C-alpha cells in the first residue's frame, strides 16, 4: 500500500500524499480519494496548487482550512461528479 501523509501549515496550506483521485472540489470542499479512504477538506477559498496523480500528491491553499474528515464513500454519489471533474481538468 502507498504511504499516506497529511501536512498542514497555518490552516492555509495542505499537502496530501497517497491520493488516488480528486472526486470533487470547489472553494469550500475538496473530496480526495486516498489510499486510506475518502478525505474531505473543508474550508474557505480552497484551490489546488499542485495536482500530480502520477506521484499521488495534491497540494491545496485556502484562506481558512476548517476541517479534515475521513469518510466512507457513498457509491455513485461522488463518482458521477468525478467523471465530469476529470473532463474539465483534462480539456
If you write DSSP's letter for every residue of 37-60 in order, what string do you get? EEEEEEEES-EEEEEETTTTEEEE
Identify the CATH number of the domain in which residue 81 sits.
2.60.40.2000
What 3-state DSSP class applies to 80?
Answer: helix
Residue 86: the pLDDT is 56
Residue 72: the pLDDT is 76
pLDDT along the chain (91 residues), means of 10: 90 96 95 94 96 93 95 58 56 53
1 occurs within a structural domain: no
73 occurs within a structural domain: yes
- Is 4:34 a contact under the CB 8 Å cutoff? yes
Residue 58: the pLDDT is 97
Task: Tell me the residue range of the domain where 33 lies.
Answer: 6-90
Domains in the chain, number: 1
Residue 8: the pLDDT is 96
Residue 2: the pLDDT is 76
CB neighbour class for 30 (10 Å; exposed up to 12, middle 13-18, buried from 19): buried
50 occurs within a structural domain: yes
Amino acid at each position: 500500500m502507498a504511504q499516506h501523509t497529511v501536512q498542514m501549515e497555518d490552516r492555509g496550506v495542505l499537502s496530501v500524499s497517497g491520493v488516488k483521485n480528486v472526486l470533487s472540489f470547489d472553494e469550500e470542499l475538496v473530496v480526495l480519494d486516498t489510499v486510506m479512504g475518502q478525505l474531505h477538506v473543508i474550508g474557505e477559498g480552497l484551490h489546488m496548487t499542485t495536482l500530480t496523480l502520477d506521484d499521488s500528491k495534491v497540494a491545496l491553499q485556502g484562506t481558512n482550512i476548517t476541517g479534515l474528515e475521513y469518510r466512507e464513500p457513498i457509491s455513485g454519489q461522488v463518482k458521477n461528479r468525478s467523471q465530469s471533474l476529470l473532463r474539465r481538468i483534462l480539456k
